[in-house]
Structure 1
């Protein structure tokens, strides 16, 4: 019973803030939120109206002061059986990710996760409050149906059926607010930046540098000077390999990667190792798909110069303990690069807590435009790196005898950058931060557990990647149906998944495979999406045709 003590409910009455100007009687909002968005107490995340512009949120009436709020009463009834329960009384799976680094049934184990999220019960209905074990208060729940309306492409029909987008690990869809921000830039601000005295140049420069500040805040970096705009995670990794790597690594030096890596975090290091005579060492995974930390520790040594690792596997969804692995690498004097492309849409990231030397991600994986990404590097590391590309914008002075380069980040942003898409990335980060990364993670963890249970119940289906700590990916194979055939069959029912090797051939071959089917989750997905996926797979398994649209 002691383990469940933290389920004790808060008092039945809640103080209400004083009415704010312009707010109807009986309605209260949280004045501590950003003015562009509004959070109702217990009402979940901010909502964007149909035109996609922030600033107007639906308001719901609260109870009179001193009375119990209707949502609180409903929550109290929902949790009543758990307050008096013992662990033996709780049904299996009462809380997602029990024993997986997430809090289990009333159990919080900080040693299993750097920032474990509050556990959630079964996927709640839209708009329901979620009881937050960490604070003892109702918290926000994403209403996927409402969020979905922010993404215009999700109104598309495919083969006569509503689109169900489960290919988020390949790319995420874009909210209307990002689309509108791009349109606004090209309509009112379009100019080159930094090198003109006219109004549009000032507008464009301000918008571009404001986006850099948003990225800095999103990653928890110390300074905007640590944020370099690039085309994506792939370019960022190549930049580090061809500048720092080429200047630093010598024959016999060692680069350590994990078996989980995307090709973008293998090929640049393999090419570099071949060019300078360095050695590429690989950390294997266990049968669940989690990194073997015991072998990782053994691989580290005096010749280790670099560890390059993903934070979340794009093929399996495994969450890698990057902070712990970074600390171990630093003990032997190695630098660390973390590929965060698959992490940034699923979880809060703080590079100062990870303590990595570089962190990279792509904008299109976090609801932003394609062709824009970020390289974070600590100030001392970036300052010591030579330019990669050269030309305008990255120089302080040029003569025919001497070139003086700018300090970072300008040193690494030669020529005219992808200005509009950097601004669009800033709008995407505004969007996810307004919803709340913790709320997004809770929502997706519930979906992940729900989808895992559905797929495990399908005869002949085998999940690939079953690590206890996962994010957003449900890779699987059938024992007698090729992945590409599965992908095509799902597309006929309007369900978009990825089928193939996912640019991660080494990890699939670890499991004896050349391809998997990979549904992957995002904040706009719902249990009904997974129900439709499971139903379609069951029909395919028995050769039953899909019902008419």
Structure 2
């Protein structure tokens, strides 16, 4: 078993502000290993053709590789059928498609959680405004968990959709999705999962979680930007209308009427991001090579090391529960009296890349009582040395803003 995967990631070898880069923003975008880049390059060099449309050899090879990744993704998340996999631009597009396609009526309830990313809030807001539905939010407990007693009160017979993150991109909180699914189904609602932060860090089985729909993005799991997945139960997808129209998703077009291809191809209008799909498949190959045991052990080791060291810094507040953070690699924090943007800028000057801001989760920030936080997010290519560099840089940053240059 390898101890260090950083050598597979070319970007991590560079200097930033005359310091060796420590990249701690994988919750926003993960880096790509050489193996994923090589797969993309190989496709471009050998099989670059449009899929589904040609009978010549190149097009057939491209189609086989493209559809092969659909099979691969289905196995990766425990789907029953590769036809349940729809390729999208990313999590946001999948959530928007669902918000525009699901059967929601005036007076229905759309139940979200206070921990949602804006991409799992704004599309539902638009639907609620347009159709006269009611948006309802499940609160958090004081220890940053979802309040399941509140969920039981709010998910009722008027609920049409429950949409929830599987993992909070700010707190690292792991949502009790299966319990929410039971509540949703008991009341005749469907449950939509935002898996953007979960799929890169833990094994996901959509059947075991009892989800109806799941969305996630390739760029958070070592793949390229601009590719994502919408999974849905086959019968449910069959019942949805496509939201984009044009070439490739059609069966037959007349002057006044069009019939569409079956699921999933009816949702994939126009030329798809074929290169992105190939990269996504290569990313799954890489993650399978590393293995969940290694990924989770690395998360646990790094986060525990970081939390132990951060606890010794006076005035540093952490948002989240340690048992969740070690699963998801996410630590959000603030240094008292120093704006998160100033902290992030100071860390950047020392070669440390962290994110600062509201993390596209402004309702959650208001619930926490802060305008913004800093966030360090770890992944399989980070090392114990990275943690030491990060903590030392934070101590130096606090010293600078407290006492200035000595």
Same fold (TM over 0.5): yes
Tell me the equivalent position of 2:371: 514
Alpha-carbon distance in structure 1 between the residues aligned to 2:303 and 2:198: 15
CA RMSD in angstroms, aligned pairs only: 1.4
1:422 alignment partner, SS class: helix
> Which runs of 5 or more structure 2 residues have no equivalent in the other structure?
none
Q: Which residue of 103, 106, 110 maps to 1:255?
A: 110
Matched, 1:166 2:21: no
Alpha-carbon offset, residue 466 of structure 1: 2.4
Normalized against structure 2, the TM-score is what? Answer: 0.97
Normalized against structure 1, the TM-score is what? Answer: 0.72
Alpha-carbon distance in structure 1 between the residues aligned to 2:100 and 2:194: 16
1:153 alignment partner, SS class: helix
1:475 alignment partner, SS class: strand
Tell me the equivalent position of 1:216: 74
Q: Cα deviations across residues 281-320 of structure 1 (Å, max 9, x unaligned)?
A: 0001122211001100111111011000000100111111
Q: Which has the higher helix share?
A: 2
Matched, 1:288 2:143: yes
- Correspondence 1:441-520 to 2 at 5 A: 441-466=296-321, 468-470=323-325, 471-520=328-377
Alpha-carbon offset, residue 446 of structure 1: 2.1
Alpha-carbon distance in structure 2 between the residues aligned to 1:460 and 1:169: 25
Tell me the equivalent position of 1:537: 394
Residue pair 1:289, 1:467 contacting (<8 A) in 2 also: no
Alpha-carbon offset, residue 539 of structure 1: 1.2
> Which runs of 5 or more structure 1 residues have no equivalent in the other structure?
1-43, 46-142
Q: Which residue of 45, 52, 55 maps to 1:197?
A: 55
Q: Which residue of 198, 204, 225 maps to 1:343?
A: 198
Alpha-carbon distance in structure 1 between the residues aligned to 2:267 and 2:346: 45
Alpha-carbon distance in structure 2 between the residues aligned to 1:280 and 1:355: 23
Alpha-carbon offset, residue 324 of structure 1: 1.6
Q: Which residue of 29, 45, 48 maps to 1:187?
A: 45
Which structure is richer in relative contact order (CA contacts within 8 A, separation 6 or more)?
Answer: 2
Tell me the equivalent position of 2:88: 230
Alpha-carbon distance in structure 2 between the residues aligned to 1:194 and 1:363: 22
Matched, 1:156 2:11: no
Tell me the equivalent position of 1:299: 154
| Structure with greater Cα Rg | 1
1:484 alignment partner, SS class: helix
Aligned length: 402
Alpha-carbon distance in structure 2 between the residues aligned to 1:437 and 1:279: 39
Alpha-carbon offset, residue 402 of structure 1: 2.3
2:342 alignment partner, SS class: helix
Q: Runs (4+) of structure 1 moved beyond 3 Å?
A: 544-547
Q: Which has the higher strand share?
A: 2
Alpha-carbon offset, residue 404 of structure 1: 1.1
